[in-house]
Structure 1
């Protein structure tokens, strides 16, 4: 049974009875985007209460009436930098929400008044620079090699020179190490001072400055310099890792050209992307990328869509087909008609989903944030007690115990622990996006790791969603052509795939189709219209009145359905006059995709509103279980039942799949699906290939394992150095490995996900 379209405010056509559409106008996704959930995360080594001021476990919607401003940020090395910026901005008066989107390097601020100058000043004081993302202001050039690494390299040279001097003269060496320490500590101390003023007093920079100056005071000059060298090296490794993880996003952002060639008659003009509007005719030269989603005006053209879909072979498109922004024109110059508004192209939508994903943190990440808030002050208090209690109460020497206290201060920084989860998640999400799989954040990634059953919609998910008419059976002696013309008249203007198939066949046969009047969709029944003075109804067999079909006609319906067809009945003045059988084709790679899922011990079940016999034929080809004849509410009930046995993910593409996606442990949408399905889903297959599901499951499991490894590394190294420091086995410069070394290790371990096959 298929239901037919009526327009609503969502901008899409769907049946009157279909759930999932709120009736509200869908918000426009613009370049400056309001993000739904405040972060509220605690930064690395930050004190409790920093961030946006909200609980890290809470997600609240932005207030639509509060103005939003956005900037691009330069200078961030890791997620902890993002939290420092959030902390600095959130303390400004009038700011209701401040969020840093680390993946796209964007700062989004909601405020009750224009506070742009104050925000820019606060961020600059915290040590970062901003560029407006809502203007054409050119981005700052990337820093050069010496600009990024100059301090570190000079420090290495000074360390080597100090060591050589110490071999000749211990006193000269000690002086040289002191100078080296002061040189290395100066930028770190300045950064610590800026962060203190912006509201982050217990950052890693503060701890490193205290440890280095404290070591100088007790004469451990060489170790003080080594601490700073190891810290700077760890920061550079962290920055490199963050850049690697963000590379997929920045590459996506670079797909759209800065300008477009717009045609007005035969006049060509070069315009900025922001000036393009739906209906504009643009021209794209061979080797250039599309600036917006557009329908092809030329008779045909080939496009390289690999950057968006992962498909390496260029795809040939025909006139009228819509091509996504960022696709590369391969062979010749083409003309296209723009169909997307500025900020609403396929690339913009993916970037919006990536930004939205950062609001949905994994539960383990939120737990570690809460843990670090307790862990840092506890370790700092322990370091202070170790430094003063033994000399004061037990008669110990001050210098050795201060030395041990400073070592514990370095061990106490939770940077490696806090970054262990976001580093793995960022790498996992980046690896997924490279393969045409978009996962909306760490919470979705963790949910997918638990999934053991996948429930599939049929039409448009397991099948192409482009059914074709396979049989037309007359029940009253009329010929096939007359029946098809009547059915096409009733179905004219409908957006349903079955209706389109009937109309397309009539068009291909160049039939004369009568004008229909009083056309309306009947929720739960079908569609009816008045054609040539007769009331015609197209309906599913299960929705026609009882005893409407004779035994012989019912047998014909069963025969068509047993062959895998979806059958609709044409009734004229309440009497059946014809049967139309339609069959959809399996999506390419569906059989192989299900085989891969079974190898991962993931079961599959099909949930469809189609008739049981057609569903059985498709399920038999795929070797999977099925439940047929389901309305959207029935799918929700089926998902709830399956969820009681194992965590279930629902895979669908339509508005009617949205409730089931919401009810499942995780919802997965096909990239070609409706906006409601894409917004409801936790993940999407941008290339529409089902083998991306196995990729999604593998990456979620690998990321989960990587997080466990990272946490073990971070806590394990700290535990080892905590014990060895208290026992006097390891010294100050080795203690920094408990933080900088562990940070480098967990970051390198997370980067392995980028190479995950």
Structure 2
């Protein structure tokens, strides 16, 4: 791809609404050297293929006072809502209207001075509105700007100067409210962008210097002092400390980091001095990828948003037709007053402005996805957020999902340290995961098994190992091995196996130790599954383990059902079968279970502290491997869908009530617009409730 055809990303400010986004996108595409352009209204970003200067892009967005900056500029000067330049004309127009109202009371409504005041207020407050409205009218494009332009001009033509001026101001307030709504919803992204510092202390060529993150290279040594945030992803090469990773993974408990441990940009160094070797450029850090994924997710249209957009396409033309009928039928067929019904028709046109309806879904989606990201849950699109609310079955992988994924010794009979030392010494020559569990147990008990000499070590394939210690041959392995050797196997073995534990025996001329090993359940599994069951969600475990072990873990965890002895293709087929009757989610590690994750209605990946695989594989990633985030995500999804439905119903209901006021002739221009402003405000406040949904 040539340099001129590269896709460049820019951040923008002041974009008012989704309709303005469409207009801006069309203006950008019309620039001479632009091949293609895309506007991400939710994330306040634009993507340009081709060549365009910032001045050209700002000129294309001059109708909405749009400001453009490079995507790498993470910080932007925050401007108070009340101090925004685009609001100044509204303030001036409002003051002029108030003065004109006072003059109309003192000099009379027919006096020329109040009329001139209203005209000036209309011009100042509605200048940008009229420019856009007239352009749209020429193209026969009926959006909210067109409808408002017709309504205001119509009001002036029938002598309703005061009403026309008031409507201009109220519409400007409505636009400002919509802009404010999206700004509030985007705060979650702004908070994420502020997580990682823009500078870091770097040692390069034996010289320490503070550098901008954009200038830091892979391989540089970053020095992170206590109380400072980590600026780049990297590996600890010196020192140890506790790191608070809440901003990245949602974990509230700090994590101990030592040499060779990975640290993430945006995490907080709480105690020790660390030296970190930078492993990723600033645009490739985990926090950068999270921000990118969340921004893309917020731009993706949810099913309810697609419905609203489609509805608005028919709604606005329908309102225009109704307005024309209101203007014509009563005067022509019912001897109504032309002035009165022209006025009512203009008011109906204002009801056609779908502001509250249009923002009813995106504000809720943007807020919810941003909130989830701060809690350590990456939801890769509004469609997945909505889909999660319909889930009635969740299939779990076992190892690393329900369990820790690390076998541990749970029982030893009898408790004999001398025999355990010999068993650990024998297992020291084995590479089996169960051998590692015995070695960890010996190290925990501080048993010095390394001093024991093992001779004639030999692996017995699939059964265990043997070796000579102090002239005697010892065996450690499965009960089958000892049965083949002619030993009588203890009945306790069956009891341990029934509990889902793997049993190993150790001995020479007799069985000296019975060792039970199990992959321990994650600490919160039982509570999480109980909560999911209370939400009427079936929980199924899909495991490659044997039936006895699978059923034992299923009982301990509280699963609805267990499917064992499964190959990856078996898991895939089971998911497909479940999908025929249920909405199913699959949760796994994002690698081994990839086919099942892809086949499920929603794939949840255990994030492993932000691994690339987890970010790319699943629809939703739990960044801290915390299963408590699972019921939180479903609760958030259900609450979001409820909020969206409330917003849509309320937006339509308030429009319907306003339309019904036409029948007795009570509808006025300012009531029509106030209904839209009120709906916009309530929809915004209702959506903001999603910010308070937390993992509790």
TM over 0.5: yes
CA contact (8 A) 1:246 1:430 kept: yes
The offset of 1:297, in angstroms, is 2.8
Task: Give the corresponding residue for 1:184.
Answer: 125
For residues 26-425 of structure 1, the aligned pairs below 5 Å read 67-91=6-30, 97-109=36-48, 111=49, 113-115=50-52, 120=57, 123-133=60-70, 139=76, 142=79, 145-148=82-85, 149-170=87-108, 171=111, 172-190=113-131, 192=133, 201-264=141-204, 266-358=206-298, 360-388=300-328, 390-391=330-331, 396-425=336-365
Given the alignment, which residue of 368, 373, 384 partners 1:433? 373
- Could you tell me which residue of structure 2 aligns to residue 58 of structure 1? none
Instruction: Say which SS state the counterpart of residue 408 (structure 1) adopts.
Output: helix
Match of 1:705 in 2: 642
Contact 1:386 1:405 in 2 (8 A): yes
- Deviation of residue 191 (structure 1)? 5.1
Contact 1:298 1:336 in 2 (8 A): yes
Relative to structure 1, the CA distance from residue 114 to residue 161 in structure 2 (aligned partners, 3 Å threshold; closer, same or farther) is closer
Q: Which moved more, 1:548-557 or 1:592-601?
A: 548-557
SS of the aligned residue for 2:222 comes to strand
Q: 2:605 aligns with which of 658, 666, 669?
A: 669
Secondary structure of the equivalent of 2:12?
strand
- Indicate yes or no: 2:411 matched with 1:450: no
Separation in 2, partners of 1:706, 1:721: 22
CA contact (8 A) 1:89 1:122 kept: no
Which deviates the most, 238-247 or 387-396? 387-396
Question: Which residue number corresponds to residue 648 of structure 1?
Answer: 584
Query: Any unmatched runs of 5+ in structure 2?
Result: 414-420, 454-460, 468-476, 507-512
Q: 1:606-685 to 2 correspondence within 5 Å? A: 606-624=541-559, 625-672=561-608, 675-685=612-622
Structure richer in helix, relative to its length: 2
Aligned-partner Cα distance in 1 for 2:675–2:485: 78
User: Partners in 2 of 1:77 and 1:189 — Cα distance?
Assistant: 16
TM-superposition CA deviations, 1:703-724 (whole Å, max 9, x none): 1111111111111111121221
> Partners of 1:648 and 1:364 in 2: how far apart?
20
Three-state SS of the structure 2 residue aligned to 1:646 is: coil
Give the match for residue 626 of structure 2.
689
Instruction: Please state whether the residue corresponding to 2:520 is helix, strand or coil.
Output: coil
Q: Residues 470, 319 of structure 1: CA spacing in aligned structure 2 closer, same or farther, 3 A cutoff?
A: farther
Q: Which moved more, 1:154-163 or 1:129-138?
A: 129-138
Q: Distance in 1 between matches of 2:217 and 2:344?
A: 66
- Measured against aligned partners, the alpha-carbon deviations of 1:285-328 in whole angstroms (never above 9, x if no partner) come to 22321112222233321222232334444333233221221011
Map of 1:726-737 to 2, 5 A cutoff?
726-737=663-674
More deviation, 653-662/229-238: 229-238
Q: 2:525 aligns with which of 575, 590, 604?
A: 590
Find the counterpart in structure 2 of residue 520 from structure 1: none
Deviation of 1:745 (Å): 2.2
Whole-angstrom distance in 1 between the partners of 2:160 and 2:310: 35
Report the 3-state secondary structure (helix = DSSP H, G, I; strand = E; otherwise coil) of the residue aligned with 1:667: strand
3-state SS in 1 of match to 2:404 = coil
* 2:58/2:66 contact within 8 Å kept: no
User: Partners of 2:4 and 2:517 in 1: how far apart?
Assistant: 49
Where 1:431 maps in the other structure, the secondary structure is helix
Structure 1 residue 255, shift from structure 2 partner: 1.1
SS at match of 2:294: helix
- Alpha-carbon distance between aligned partners in 2 of 1:344 and 1:137, rounded to the nearest angstrom: 15
Q: 1:549 offset after TM fit, Å? A: 10
Q: SS state of the match for residue 268, structure 1?
A: strand
Question: 2:230, 2:266 within 8 Å by CA — same for their partners in 1?
Answer: yes
| Aligned position for 2:510 | none
Distance 1:137 1:697, change over 3 A: closer
**C-alpha offsets along residues 560-579 of structure 1, whole Å, 9 cap, x if unaligned?**
64343357999xxxxxxx99
CA apart distance, 1:98: 3.2
Compared with structure 1, are the counterparts of its residues 77 and 579 closer, same or farther at alpha carbon in structure 2 (3 Å cutoff)? farther
* 3-state SS of 2:8 partner: strand
Q: For 1:634 and 1:137, locate their aligned partners in 2 and report how far apart those are by CA, in whole Å.
A: 47
TM-score (norm. length: structure 2): 0.83
Q: How far off is 1:417 after superposition?
A: 1.7
Alpha-carbon shift at residue 641 of structure 1 (Å): 2.4
Aligned length: 655
> Could you say which structure has the larger radius of gyration?
2
Match of 1:480 among 419, 423, 428: 423
**Which structure is richer in relative contact order (CA contacts within 8 A, separation 6 or more)?**
1
SS at match of 2:84: helix
Q: Which residue of 1 aligns with 2:457?
A: none
The residue aligned with 1:5 is none
Q: Deviations over 1:58-87 (max 9, x none)?
A: xxxx99996211111011234444333333
